A and B are shown apart, each in its own frame.
Chain A
Amino acid sequence: MTYVMVIYQGDAQERQAALDEEEQKQVYADYQAINQTPGVTTMPPMGRPDNATTVRVEGGKVLTTDGPFVGMKEAVGGLFILEADDLDAAIEVAARVPAARYGGAVEIRPSEVYW
């Protein structure tokens, strides 16, 4: 199965910034380990949501607003693709994402073809 793993930072970035040096190293090491997990395809790292531009088209007119589509706390923080046997295997990988234990979350979305 192909899963799109969506990382939400929530409070995680603030909380990680407050960690001591050893713990911060562990966070980086954990992300590195996930990137190297068999079945994982990484995406370019996502920049901060406050640098996002949101685009809508209304009546043919392009409207842009500053910031993410949802609030800063709810904004998507990152994505990766996971090939795994089943949902249990995906949950195990999700649980290793540091954001998930520092107040953020990982959403597991099965990939689906609509056409």
Chain B
Amino acid sequence: MVASLQQVFREEWGRVLAILIGFLGDFDLAEEAAQEAFAIAAERWPRDGIPSDPRAWLLRTARNRATDHVRRSRVLSSKLELLATSERQQVPMTGATIPDERLELIFTCCHPALALEAQVALTLRTLGGLTTAEIARAFLVPEPTMAQRLVRAKRKIKAAGIPFRVPPPHLLRERLDAVLAVVYLIFNEGYGGRDELAAEAIWLGRALAQLIPDDPEVRGLLALMLLHDSRRETRFRDGEVVLLGAQDRSKWDTRQIAAGRAELEGALALGGRGPYVLQAAIASLHAETPCDWVQIAALYGELYRLTGSPVVELNRAIAVAETEGPEGGLAILDRLGLDDFRYLHSTRAELLRRLGRTDEARHAYLRARDLTDDGAERRFLERRLTELAT
């Protein structure tokens, strides 16, 4: 009972809130009303049972709460106007016919006129239903700071007239890419060990794939996240980083790898060849034994032509080192000019070590270590330095 109640809440929060924002035109009022409706449900449903149409129940209750708030409000003039508009709009009242406005909501939350960190927080709050405290914890900022960030973002949406809609065709690609970037950023924040964020990002990715089933990049991102996440259990051992080659493959989540590959197949079938699809294809190859490094190097080459990112070139260098030997990889690295990037130095160090160029390897490890504050990664480099000395 409790589990299924949580599941209903999880599924319904974003949908109910999206509808409320759509017809109330006010984030704060909608959020307050939704919160109250969910609180009433949490009290009554365990006692009376889950209603046959939970979504319609939540929406009706939330709308009544919102109406009460508006009536009680002392700032009458603007609120009355708001109420009049909201009452004019008929909200369909059965689960099957209630429109899904989560897409409108996510495009509003990820509007480029909001700061990226605000986009992330707002997406997690509204679509994901995380509390302000949970988001603050996940991003390691004090709760009042996060609360302030959310308040400011919601105020700006209203004051600046950020629209609540799916962008028109000429803006869609650019705006959808911004949404995907937010979801991937949430995933990457979680990848360092905060599992709840990674799970949240995958959940958002699934919702997006359901809402926009014909976009290969949407499917590609979902595939990429599923494939990376399938190795989550094996990336750390006793708080220490474990590299791909040394990971315990028997502990990879094979079901999730299969799900990721199915999404990737779907994306490729749609003719996808964008950055997320390519990265997912690479992640899929990484999960194979033995790894097809030639194809991985070729895919990184294609990704580099799309993005021009030197970090992608760095990854190609690693793949080339596997097929042509460390010299081939080093030759690519030495053209990159990423002198302040710690992974450039740790990768160089690794290739130099394999070539037996110990002194140069030590210098590179030292440089990488000095650029790293993170505990586990820094300890990994320290370990490598010790091994080199013996």
Interface residues of A (CB under 8 A from B): 1, 3, 84-88, 90-91, 108, 110, 112
- Chain A residues near B159 (CB, 8 Å)? 110, 112
Chain B stretch 106-123: residues in CB contact (< 8 A) with chain A: 111, 113
7 A-B pairs with CB atoms under 8 Å apart are A1-B161, A86-B161, A86-B163, A87-B160, A87-B163, A88-B162, A110-B161
Chain B stretch 164-194: residues in CB contact (< 8 A) with chain A: 167, 171
Judge whether A88 and B167 touch: CB under 8 Å.
yes
Judge whether A88 and B163 touch: CB under 8 Å.
yes
Interface residues of B (CB under 8 A from A): 111, 113, 159-163, 167, 171
CA distance A85 to B167 in the complex (A): 13
CA distance A110 to B9 in the complex (A): 36
Q: Which one of A1, A84, A87, A112 lies within 8 Å of B113 (CB-CB)?
A: A87
Interface of B is mostly: loop
Judge whether A108 and B163 touch: CB under 8 Å.
no
- Chain A residues near B111 (CB, 8 Å)? 87
Q: How far is the CB of B75 from chain A (nearest CB, A)?
A: 13
CA distance A110 to B111 in the complex (A): 16
CA distance A87 to B160 in the complex (A): 6
Interface of A is mostly: mixed
CA distance A3 to B162 in the complex (A): 12
CA distance A112 to B159 in the complex (A): 8
- Chain A residues near B160 (CB, 8 Å)? 87, 108, 110
Which single residue of chain B is at the shortest CB-CB distance from A112?
B159
CA distance A91 to B113 in the complex (A): 9
Which single residue of chain A is at the shortest CB-CB distance from B170?
A92
CA distance A91 to B168 in the complex (A): 14
Q: How far is the CB of B158 from chain A (nearest CB, A)?
A: 9
- Chain A residues near B163 (CB, 8 Å)? 85-88
- Chain A residues near B161 (CB, 8 Å)? 1, 3, 84-87, 90, 110
- Chain B residues near A86 (CB, 8 Å)? 161-163
- Chain B residues near A87 (CB, 8 Å)? 111, 113, 160-163
Q: How far is the CB of A1 from chain B (nearest CB, A)?
A: 4
Q: Which of A85, A88, A112 has the most CB of B within 10 A?
A: A88
Known contacts A1-B161, A85-B161, A85-B163; 6 additional CB pairs below 8 A are: A3-B161, A88-B162, A88-B171, A91-B113, A110-B160, A112-B159
CA distance A91 to B170 in the complex (A): 13
Q: How far is the CB of A115 from chain B (nearest CB, A)?
A: 14
Q: Which of B111, B161, B167 has the most CB of A within 10 A?
A: B161
Q: How far is the CB of B172 from chain A (nearest CB, A)?
A: 12
CA distance A71 to B172 in the complex (A): 38
Top-10 shortest CB links A-B? A86-B163, A1-B161, A86-B161, A87-B161, A87-B162, A110-B160, A87-B160, A110-B159, A88-B163, A87-B113
- Chain B residues near A110 (CB, 8 Å)? 159-161
- Chain A residues near B167 (CB, 8 Å)? 88
CA distance A108 to B113 in the complex (A): 10
- Chain B residues near A88 (CB, 8 Å)? 162-163, 167, 171
- Chain A residues near B171 (CB, 8 Å)? 88
- Chain A residues near B162 (CB, 8 Å)? 86-88
Which single residue of chain B is at the shortest CB-CB distance from A1?
B161
Q: How far is the CB of B82 from chain A (nearest CB, A)?
A: 16
CA distance A47 to B167 in the complex (A): 38
